[in-house]
Structure 1
Amino acid sequence: MDFPPSQSTTPNGGHDDKSFRYDQDAKAFPSRAELPQIEGTPPGAAWFWGPEDQIGRLNLLTKERVKAAAAFIKSGTLVSLNLPLDFPATPAFGREPFKHEIKTLFPGMSYDDKYNLNTQSGTQFDGFRHFSHLPSRTFYNGTKGHDIVGPAANDKCSIHHWADHGIAGRGVLLDYWSYAKDREIEYDPFDHYAISYGELVACGKAQGVDIRPECQGGDIWPGDILLVRSGWRAVYDLKTPKTRQAAGLRENIPGPHDGQRWAGVSQEAAMVDWLHDCYFSAVAGDSVTFEAWPSLTEDYYLHEYLLACWGVPNGEMWDLEKLSTICKERGNYFFFVTSSPACCYGGVSTHANAVAIL
C-alpha cells in the first residue's frame, strides 16, 4: 500500500520522529496496526500533521475532497442537524441548563438576546481540549491542562482554529436505529447499549454501503464525516419529562460504575481499528455520548482515541431524524455536510451549526 511519505526517513526505512508528516492529499494512510510510535507521544497517537498542528484530521478536508463531496448534492435539499439549545432540558453529566433572556433596548423598536449556556448542551462538537489521553493527562498534539486553564493558558488547540479552517465534506449516515427496528432488536438509548463493529458492518450492508476504507475496497473516503443514529433523539419525546430529568441527573462517577448510561458505538478493539483506519475527518452521533457510556469492558474511552490521540472532532446530540427519513427514501446515505464552529479563542467545544445538503 502506498502510504503518505514522510519528510525524511531513517536509514532502515523507519520514520524520523522529528520530521515525519502525513501528506494530506494522499490516497491511503497507515492503518492503526502500522502506526509508528513517535517518542514522547501517548501509545496509539497519530500526531503526524506537524508540531504546530491545531486541527487534526480536519487537515483531510482538502479543496479536492470538498469539491468531490459537493457532487453529492443532487436536489439542493437543506436538512438542519441541530437540536434546540435547550436540549436536553436537564443536561447530563452535571452540566448547566440553557438560559435565555431578552434584553430590551427600546420598547417596541429593538431587542437583543442574552444566552447563558454550556456548549455541551444541544448539538455540539467536543474540541481537542475537552478530553485527554487519561494515563498521560495529555490532550491532542501535546496540549496540557496548563495550556487550557491557569496563568499560562494559551490558544493551543483552541476551538477557534476549527472556525478559521471550516468544516465541510462528504457525510455518511449509518442509521443503526432503523436497522435495529427492522430486525426487532430492542434497546433503550437512555441506557447503556454498545453497537458493535459487526453490527455497523451489517447496517452498512443493509443500506448498500461497504463501510471499509476505500483503500481496502470499501466506500469510505479519507476525510468523510461519519454520522451514527443510535435512536436517542427518536425516543426523547416518548419519555416523560420526569424520566428525561431523572436520566440527566444520574450520578456521574468516572469508570464502569458511572450512573450516566447511554447508547452509542462500542469501544471494542475492532471499532477502534475501524474508526482509525477510515480516516474520518469528524464523527458524530445522535446520543449524549458518541460511544456507549460508560466503558464497561475496556480500560479506555473512545474519546481518548478520537480527540487526544488522533485529532478527530467528536459530535454528540446531532438531530438525525429528518436526515434518516430522506436518506431512506432516496436509497442513498451519502451527502454534503457543513458545520460552522464558534470562533472562540481558548474554547474547548462548540455548537455544531450543522447542515446536510442532499
Structure 2
Amino acid sequence: MTDPKNTTNQRLTQIRDLLTMNKTATTLPWDPDSTRFPNRKELPQIPGAPDGAAWVWGDDDYIGRLNLLTPSRVAAAAKEVRTGEIVPVNLPLTHPNQPAFNRESFQHEIKPLAENIAYDDIYHMNTQSGTQWDGFRHFAHMSTQSFYNNTKGADILGPKANAKCSIHHWAEHGIVGRGILLDYRGYATKKGIAYDPYDYYPISYEELYHCGKDQGIDIRPQSQGGDIKIGDMLLVRTGWTEQYWAKSPEERDRLGLRKHVLGKEDGQRYAGLSQEERVLDWLHDCYFAAVASDAPTFEAWPSHESWMLHEYILALWGMPLGEMLDLEGLARKCRERGRWFFFFTSAPANVPGGVASHVNGTAIL
C-alpha cells in the first residue's frame, strides 16, 4: 500500500524543484547529476543496511561518493585553474620511515638488467604506510561487520573473494574535481591555540567553522547558504607533517613505534576531526566526494566514543578517506594567493582486489 504522507512529500518536492530549477534525489538509485540531496537525518532506510547507511547509488556500486564527480562538476572545477601552479601532495614513499600501527616500512630494490645499460625497480610496500587513500575494503561498520554496500569479509579474502569494493573501481572512474583546503594548523597558530599533532586533540566543527571564516570561506554546504559545492574534496591541515619533518629520525621512529591497542589507552595518538554529531552532519551534508588530511588517522585518535568517523565515512557513506597527505606546500601557496579552492586530481592504483592505494595527488591553482 502506498504511504499517503510519502506521496505528498514527493509531490511537494517535485513542485519545489519546478519552482527552483533544482533536481532533488528522491528515487533509488540516486541520480549523481541531482542538484539537491537529502541531509543525514533525511536518509532513506536501505533494506538490509545499517541505520544511517547511504548505499544509494545502486546494488553494484563500489565508488560511492565518487559518483558525484560527474563531467559537469569536473568541467566546472577546471575553472579553478588560474595560475597553473602545480602542487603535489604526496610524501616520499620512504616516509614515514617508521610507519605507525605496526605497519611495514617501504622497501626499494634496484634490479640490474644489464650493468650500466638498464635497470628495474622492485617495491615492497604496505599501501597504508604513507600518503594513502583508505579504500572501502579497509574499514567496516563494526557492529554489523559490513563494508560499503554490504560487502563482507568473505568478499575480500578467502575462497569466495570477488571484486566488491576493490580499489580498482576508483582507478577506473578517476578522482578529479574541486578541492578545498582548511588550514587548521595555520589558524590555530595565528590564534595562539597550542596542541601537539602527535597527541589526541579533537578538532570540533565550531573550530573548523571559525578556521574557514578566517580564510574567507563559509564551510556550510551551498544548500545551507555556504561555499561548499556538491562533489568538493576536503583537505584539512592539522600540522602533523610539519611536526614530522621538524623531528629527528630517532624521534620519528620512537613515535611510530608507540604501543598500539584498541581503545582510549592506545599509545598511537594524533590530532584530527572530533567524533561529534555536528562533524558527522557536516561531513555528510556537504556531499564531499572525498575527505583527507595530513594526519595518520584523519579523525582524532583514539576515538573517545563507541564509534569512529571511519565507520561512517567509509562503510556507511562510501566516501574515500585520505591520510598523511603533505599539505605544507599547498598551505603556503594558498595563503600567498589568498585562494583556498583549487583543481585536484588523484590517480589510485589500478589493482583488482586491492584494499587501498597511495594517493598520487596533485593540486593545481
Normalised to the residue count of structure 1, the TM-score between the two structures is 0.95
- CA distance in structure 2 between the partners assigned to 1:282 and 1:72 by the alignment: 18
- CA distance in structure 2 between the partners assigned to 1:122 and 1:95 by the alignment: 10
> Which residue does 1:238 correspond to in 2?
246
- State how 1:269-284 maps to structure 2 within 5 Å: 269-284=277-292
Whether 1:86 aligns to 2:91 is no
Whether 1:13 aligns to 2:13 is no
Q: CA deviation at 1:39?
A: 2.3
- CA distance in structure 2 between the partners assigned to 1:192 and 1:215 by the alignment: 33
Q: 1:174 aligns with which of 164, 179, 182?
A: 182
Structure 2 stretches of 5 or more lacking a match?
A: 11-26
Deviates more, 1:333-342 or 1:26-35: 26-35
- CA distance in structure 2 between the partners assigned to 1:286 and 1:237 by the alignment: 12
Q: 1:326 aligns with which of 333, 339, 343?
A: 333
> Aligned to 2:272, what secondary structure does the other structure show?
strand
Q: 2:104 aligns with which of 82, 85, 96?
A: 96
- CA distance in structure 2 between the partners assigned to 1:65 and 1:10 by the alignment: 35
> Which residue does 2:195 correspond to in 1?
187
Kept after mapping to 2: 8 A contact 1:65/1:223: yes
Identity of aligned residues (%): 60
> Aligned to 2:246, what secondary structure does the other structure show?
coil
- CA distance in structure 1 between the partners assigned to 2:49 and 2:264 by the alignment: 26
Describe the superposition over 1:279-326 as per-residue Cα deviations: whole angstroms up to 9, x where unpaired: 000000001111111101x21100000000000000000010110001
- CA distance in structure 2 between the partners assigned to 1:113 and 1:155 by the alignment: 28
- CA distance in structure 1 between the partners assigned to 2:190 and 2:36 by the alignment: 35
- State how 1:1-358 maps to structure 2 within 5 Å: 12-13=5-6, 20-296=28-304, 298-358=305-365
Q: CA deviation at 1:11?
A: 5.0
- CA distance in structure 2 between the partners assigned to 1:85 and 1:33 by the alignment: 40
- CA distance in structure 1 between the partners assigned to 2:276 and 2:102 by the alignment: 27
Q: CA deviation at 1:10?
A: 5.4
More helix by share: 2
- CA distance in structure 2 between the partners assigned to 1:255 and 1:41 by the alignment: 26
- CA distance in structure 2 between the partners assigned to 1:255 and 1:275 by the alignment: 24
- CA distance in structure 1 between the partners assigned to 2:343 and 2:186 by the alignment: 21
- CA distance in structure 2 between the partners assigned to 1:245 and 1:43 by the alignment: 40
Kept after mapping to 2: 8 A contact 1:160/1:342: yes
- CA distance in structure 2 between the partners assigned to 1:348 and 1:95 by the alignment: 15
Counterpart code for 1:43: D
Kept after mapping to 2: 8 A contact 1:27/1:215: no
Counterpart code for 1:313: P
Describe the superposition over 1:37-80 as per-residue Cα deviations: whole angstroms up to 9, x where unpaired: 22211111000001010100000000000000000000111100
Q: CA deviation at 1:252?
A: 1.5
Q: CA deviation at 1:244?
A: 1.2
Give the RMSD, CA atoms, in angstroms: 1.4
Between the two proteins, the alignment pairs up a number of residues equal to 347
Q: CA deviation at 1:251?
A: 1.6
Change beyond 3 A, Cα 1:114–1:10: farther
Structure 1 stretches of 5 or more lacking a match?
A: 1-8
- CA distance in structure 1 between the partners assigned to 2:51 and 2:216 by the alignment: 35
Describe the superposition over 1:208-246 as per-residue Cα deviations: whole angstroms up to 9, x where unpaired: 000000011000001000000000001112222222112
